[in-house]
Structure 1
Amino acid sequence: MGSCFGSMGNCFRSHRMSSNIASTREPLLRETERDAVTSLLQYLEQDSNNPHKTISDDKLRDLCTLAYSDNVDLQRSAALCFSELSEKLMEPITEAQLEPLIHLLLSSDIEVLKASSLAISNFALHGPPSNKETIVQAKALQPLISLLSSDSAEVQCNACGCITTLATTEANKVEIVEYGAIPPLLALTRVNDPRVQRNTTGALLNLTHIESNREKLVQAGGVTVFVHLLDSKDADVQFYCAAALSNLAVHEAHRSAIMAVGNGRVVGSLVTLMSSSVDKVRCQGCLAIRNLASDDINQDRIVRNGGLSVLIPLLRSADAETVTAAVAALRNLSIHKGNEQLIVASEALPELKRLLLMREQSEVQCHTAGTFRNLAAEDQSQAIVDEGCIPVLADLLQNYQGVPEAVLTEVSAALAVLAANESARRQLMSLYDGEFYKTLIEWTESQYSEVQYNCAGIIGHIAINTEYHSRLLSGSPSVMSVIHRFMESEESSCVHIALWITSQFSQGDMGTRSQLRQPALLDRVKQLRSSQRNSEDIRQLAESTLGHITAGQTEPSS
């Protein structure tokens, strides 16, 4: 999911505090106020080459004297002092130190608000991570949210930037919404100032990481805001809105809400963003398309709106994250039966074959293998075979050192579907001097249960070809070991596939069937046929398998 973490550029560049205080008319100041001014001026000007500052108890008293003064010039000075300190204070801020600053956030003076909102934003963004929690605990959220409605774009920008930074922690995301930030944030998106729009959409994006927040955003009209702002001229706004929509699109009901805006205008906007010259925008466009393509109707609509013509070239992107997002989107689009021929015709297969070789990019390999699996299930297996993808897939099982479990699972699943193709079976049995089947048998004893099952499925498909029966059953290792082991499994799916494999062999000649007539195997098949604990499918498959094995023979007694 996308996030807005980065530097929220300062919207306000203040004069140094010293120039502000120098203009203050000293005769009007109380003695304590004059002392505070003098002390803080000396404090800021001493060790000017030292970038790090601290706020001692006496300096905090000085700041409080100015912040709580009735003299607006002194309030401005306090705000500017906090602003300058916020760029240099490396130690965690405390609630006591924040108290006078939060008081300044309640001022009616625009200059005080500019400097104080910048200061608290800096404390959140540039200070230690604990500052985010402390700021919320110090009750700063309510005044910050109130400042979102300020007449000053600079104040809006600073307040929103602070909220954006605060919304990078899970607890704060909830707190911010509970304090009612969503309506004023959505209202701010209509402000023409690009700085305000960036910070606002960034804050809203961070809030989308919590499901309860996503629901409230949708109810408040956030979907329409995000969809319309995809057409912004600002790359950051495009990025934040595409990422927010991607996060919302995780939920089926929210996908429907997104597609309802402007009769699905989001698709055209996202397709346009995938052609952006900015890497992060292209990437987020792909991620949003991927999540929207979780629904069948959207898979069709995205392709009909030119999604493939933009997506396929992105598989060659120099940006690794964009490649990952693009192939993930393509994988979802390949689920739709009406898309598979268009994907193959778009010259996707050579790119997918190349991506499968990227061993350092395991997520890319997973999505690539998943795409092959989807396409093969929709009758494009021959095109995949003709492209030479079978040896590349098989090599990941043969030379598996360093290959993650997730990749092995997806690759074996793809091969299990492709093995239904006659040409694929012949290729598999010719690989590695005709001994790749031994690798498949070895994988059925893997610690990875899904890889075990998938490789057993590949073996079952290969057994459709009777000319391979002798090699599979007589070699070392033998498929008989797979049959026995899976037949005794507690998992009904494993029992079912063991019976299915046995059934394939039972269609062979008399020699093959005689190899299956082992008393232990026959007894187990009979048990499966008669046990009411088994599903009807397993009992029927056991019955037919037993009939084929014993065809032409008197059934031995158990």
Structure 2
Amino acid sequence: MATGFCGNCSRLLKEFTAHFRNVYREIEQQIREVFRELSQCTCFRTTPERIFLRRMTQEFPSLHLLYEDETQLLDQESLRGLNSLASSENTDLQMTAAMYYLHLSHHLKSPLPDAFMEPVMALLLSTDLNVQKTISLSLVNLLVKNNVCKELVIEMGMLVPILELFQSGDATGQCHSCACVTMLASSESNREAITTDGIIPLLALAKSYDPQVQQSATWALLHLTQSESSIRILCQAGAIPVLVLLLQSSDSEVQFYSCTALCNIAAVQEHHPKLLSIGGHFLLKSLLTLMSSPVQKNSNQACRCLETLSKNVLIQEQLMDLDCVLPLKALLKTSSPESAITLLSALSARPPNNDILVSEGLLDEIGQLLHHHRCSSVIITHSGKIITDLCSSCEGQQAVMESLCLSGLLSALQSSTLSDETLLHVTTHLHHLMTWDPLKSTLSVTITSDQVSRLVKLLGQTEYPQLSYNSAAIISKLEMTGKMAQLLRPHYITMLEYLLVFLKSKDVNFQQLGIVTILNLKKDEDFSSLLANSKLELQLWMVHVQTEETRRLLQKIEPLSPSSVNL
């Protein structure tokens, strides 16, 4: 079978495999010799340790097959041996037990029996740093794989020695203990215990000069921002200035963790004053800088954080003063523009921002974006909203007509992958845009035959009445030029059926829209000819009779004028 590798690559891979096997055999032999010597020493005349070490010596060559027979290594004999080793004052014996747990943590598939957690606690309390590092790494692995109950770890008091490892000064030990805290914090019931004693030392580690320690501490802090109560304690402990400074870290993971933590904090509005209390708009400037990061997830996360903050009017004003539009436009050209378009949508919702957004050429970028992302619901929905918002001024309407915005929205109608909800947004925006005469004329000229066919099809969308209503509303406003009549004529018979449903509706709004649409289509003689003596014309007459009867009855009642009714 062909491998797909060239001769040179195949040779290198074979050499690497052979070298790896040799190294593995050497390590295996060394470990076996250590266990053999330990088992023969007179220190192990007590039964549990001697039996346990003899088994370790005999079975170590096949420990990598642990997953095939876990019961033998989790029996009562093994438990007694681990308890004896862990409680010994000999650090070498403690390390033996810690190594056993480390191997277990890599290969165990079933839950670790609760009784096997007692030796773990003893090993965490060891006076030997290497033992503590090894057992804490084992605990991380077991927590990651859900082999142990997170709540049990807290109940057994393991959090205290884990947090004490923060003070060890050893980067590896600090990273392991931070990882333990992170995994424990994923359980909501554990966060209170962690926030009570762990926040201050975590914040201290987050300022570490060791990048790995800083990353681990920031990761743990992020997990503590998953509930409002722990966020409140974090803020009271001074976490915000630390997290803001970490946005400028040289480590991209630290940037991401701190930015995500700040985004979670920003979601709780009561903390906005503290977020803004750092002088010189430091937070906003740092997030805007991070938006230009070459690491895509960091730039997107900075955008999300700013979008969360932008619900505050004061922050919106500050963002506009800091020229946020330019970096946002740059993000629209990346492969993941969703976060940028969401933030711009929030900014466009505030009228004072619109003149700046128009003058910065945002609508040109939106038009391009719509044509490149025709199947993205997020982009289409927010783009339509931005276009509608910016059309509130004459300059905005002109910019829309000069861009690809209208053709982009129309092209979205043709997507077969968009949900009805997204299509509802598209048709709502198109209908709204047609309330301005210049845009109505441009849309009527821009629309294609396929797009007209799609509107007619949506007109019959009885399962989603509002989508049907929007489609009819657009058709009712199309300028019936010769070209437009030519595009609509193939659909007249179908439209007669759909409009008949409108007129028979109990909803007066649908009836009125049906009449308005018919009135527009009657500007073409071909439609008028089809309408004559049709079921639709008969229904029109019935609606007319009903309306006249209603008007006559109302005249008899002589209802009060709206102004005289006490609402």
Could you say whether these structures have the same fold, taking a TM-score greater than 0.5 normalized by the shorter chain as the test? yes
What is the Cα-based RMSD across aligned positions, in Å?
4.6
Aligned twin of 1:219: 236
Amino acid at match of 2:56: L
Moved more, 115-124 or 97-106: 97-106
Higher RCO (CA-CA < 8 Å; seq separation 6+): 1
Cα deviation code 1:251-308 (max 9, x no counterpart): 3223333222234211111111111122221221121122122223322322322322
Relative to structure 1, the CA distance from residue 117 to residue 129 in structure 2 (aligned partners, 3 Å threshold; closer, same or farther) is: closer
SS of residue matched to 1:261:
coil
| Shift, 1:35, TM fit | 0.3
Structure 2: tracts of 5 or more residues without a match: 1-26, 529-539
Relative to structure 1, the CA distance from residue 118 to residue 516 in structure 2 (aligned partners, 3 Å threshold; closer, same or farther) is: same
Aligned twin of 1:96: 115
Q: Which has the larger radius of gyration?
A: 2
SS of residue matched to 1:233:
coil
| Shift, 1:460, TM fit | 7.6
Kept after mapping to 2: 8 A contact 1:63/1:78: yes
Moved more, 199-208 or 521-530: 521-530
Q: Superposition pairs for residues 59-70 of structure 1, below 5 Å?
A: 59-70=78-89
Amino acid at match of 1:101: V
In 2: Cα distance, 1:530 partner to 1:195 partner: 86
In 1: Cα distance, 2:553 partner to 2:185 partner: 60
SS of residue matched to 1:90:
coil
Amino acid at match of 1:518: H
Aligned twin of 2:254: 237
Amino acid at match of 2:115: A
Kept after mapping to 2: 8 A contact 1:315/1:326: yes
Kept after mapping to 1: 8 A contact 2:375/2:418: no
In 2: Cα distance, 1:42 partner to 1:369 partner: 70
In 2: Cα distance, 1:108 partner to 1:528 partner: 95
Aligned twin of 2:390: 375
In 2: Cα distance, 1:30 partner to 1:76 partner: 19
Aligned twin of 1:123: 142
In 2: Cα distance, 1:280 partner to 1:77 partner: 42
Relative to structure 1, the CA distance from residue 442 to residue 310 in structure 2 (aligned partners, 3 Å threshold; closer, same or farther) is: closer
Kept after mapping to 2: 8 A contact 1:456/1:482: no
Relative to structure 1, the CA distance from residue 82 to residue 391 in structure 2 (aligned partners, 3 Å threshold; closer, same or farther) is: same
Q: Superposition pairs for residues 422-461 of structure 1, below 5 Å?
A: 422-430=437-445, 431-432=447-448, 436=452, 439=455, 442-443=458-459, 446-448=462-464, 451=467, 454-455=470-471, 458=474
**Selected match of 2:180 from 144, 162, 167:** 162
| Alignment pair present for 1:41 and 2:56 | yes
Kept after mapping to 2: 8 A contact 1:446/1:452: yes
| Shift, 1:461, TM fit | 6.6
| Shift, 1:231, TM fit | 1.1
| Shift, 1:120, TM fit | 0.4
Amino acid at match of 1:325: S
| Shift, 1:173, TM fit | 6.0
Moved more, 159-168 or 36-45: 36-45
SS of residue matched to 1:343:
helix
| Alignment pair present for 1:190 and 2:207 | yes
Kept after mapping to 2: 8 A contact 1:230/1:241: yes
| Shift, 1:140, TM fit | 3.8
In 2: Cα distance, 1:500 partner to 1:261 partner: 58
Moved more, 236-245 or 434-443: 434-443
SS of residue matched to 1:50:
helix
SS of residue matched to 1:87:
helix
Cα deviation code 1:470-516 (max 9, x no counterpart): x999973686865774744xxxxx69x9699979x89xx9x9xx999
Cα deviation code 1:405-441 (max 9, x no counterpart): 3321321232233222212222444534599499279
Kept after mapping to 1: 8 A contact 2:225/2:264: yes
| Shift, 1:158, TM fit | 0.4
Aligned twin of 2:401: 385
Moved more, 372-381 or 277-286: 372-381
| Alignment pair present for 1:209 and 2:223 | no
In 1: Cα distance, 2:363 partner to 2:108 partner: 55
Kept after mapping to 2: 8 A contact 1:147/1:159: yes
Structure with the largest fraction of helix:
2
Relative to structure 1, the CA distance from residue 305 to residue 135 in structure 2 (aligned partners, 3 Å threshold; closer, same or farther) is: same
| Shift, 1:117, TM fit | 0.9
In 1: Cα distance, 2:329 partner to 2:556 partner: 53
Relative to structure 1, the CA distance from residue 108 to residue 271 in structure 2 (aligned partners, 3 Å threshold; closer, same or farther) is: same
In 2: Cα distance, 1:254 partner to 1:486 partner: 50
Q: Superposition pairs for residues 11-22 of structure 1, below 5 Å?
A: none
Aligned twin of 1:518: 544
Q: What's the TM-score once normalised by structure 2's chain length?
A: 0.74
| Shift, 1:121, TM fit | 0.9
SS of residue matched to 2:250:
coil
In 2: Cα distance, 1:176 partner to 1:501 partner: 67
In 1: Cα distance, 2:552 partner to 2:129 partner: 87
Relative to structure 1, the CA distance from residue 277 to residue 395 in structure 2 (aligned partners, 3 Å threshold; closer, same or farther) is: closer
How many residues in Structure 1 have an aligned counterpart in Structure 2?
506
Q: What's the TM-score once normalised by structure 1's chain length?
A: 0.75
Relative to structure 1, the CA distance from residue 212 to residue 454 in structure 2 (aligned partners, 3 Å threshold; closer, same or farther) is: farther
| Shift, 1:26, TM fit | 3.5
| Alignment pair present for 1:73 and 2:99 | no
| Shift, 1:235, TM fit | 0.8
Cα deviation code 1:27-52 (max 9, x no counterpart): 44552364056235326622155374
Amino acid at match of 1:421: W
**Selected match of 2:351 from 325, 333, 337:** 337
Aligned twin of 1:476: 496
Aligned twin of 2:217: 200
SS of residue matched to 2:334:
coil
Kept after mapping to 2: 8 A contact 1:153/1:196: yes
Cα deviation code 1:77-132 (max 9, x no counterpart): 2123222332232332232222211222123332221111111012122x357665
- How high is the sequence identity, in percent, across the aligned residues? 27
